[in-house]
Amino acid sequence: MGWTFKLHGGVAAGLGAMLLLLATLTWLPGALPLTGVRWLAAAILVSLFLTFESALVRLILTGADKHAIWLAFRCLPGKVQMTLGALALWGVVLLVFSMATEGNLQSAEVRDGRYVAFDTTPHARGTVEISQSRYQDVLESDQRTVLAIPGVLFLGAAYAVLATGELRRADGAAPTSRMSSPL
């Protein structure tokens, strides 16, 4: 596997692990200092777009089917497989627990000194006033989702890039058949 595949996959896996760690930290008491940072979401979105799209382009250029990609991933070292699998499982569990405990409130904000959130309950959609503690809970839940989903997508990009690199390596190592000339 070429060094660009290793670097691309390592960066994607590292960013995914970092985002999942930050999403997990939202369950600790108190608010994360990143709650009011608006540029963080933009930075995550831009880096995710660049990393994920380039991984998809690399994957499409191989022309391999899903089964070949899975087999290529299975040829990676066991520690790499285990790490990516554990991180992906962590991300999925994090998202499932986050969505199960989230409730029906989203997009908490302060308007005119009051805490409000958008209620997504069927037949009762709209903005409702909430307490300050509930406001903090909704903020953390929103932040957890905003961090966990890109984290899982970064891990998907790492999977795609590392499997593609392994496919490229295997294609380069495959023996080529030479036609012998009759002379």
Specify the pLDDT at position 175: 57
Structural domain boundaries of the chain?
Answer: 3-103+144-173
Is the distance from CB of 16 to CB of 158 less than 8 angstroms?
Answer: yes
pLDDT value of residue 169: 79
Angle at 117 between CA 140 and CA 119, to 5 degrees: 110
The whole-number pLDDT of residue 146 equals 82
Amino acid making up residue 14? G
Here the tokens at position 63 are 């022309």
The vertex-43 CA angle with 46 and 57, nearest 5°, equals 25
Instruction: Give the per-residue pLDDT at 83.
Output: 93
H helices, E strands: number in the chain? 5, 3
What is residue 151's predicted lDDT score, i.e. its pLDDT?
A: 92
- The predicted pLDDT at position 60 comes to 87
Residues in the chain with pLDDT < 70?
Answer: 1, 30-37, 101-102, 172-183
The pLDDT score that the predictor gives to residue 31 is 62
Q: For residues 9 and 77, give the distance between their C-alpha atoms in angstroms, rounded to a whole number.
A: 14
Cα–Cα distance list, 84 to 78, 134, 161 (Å) = 10, 35, 12
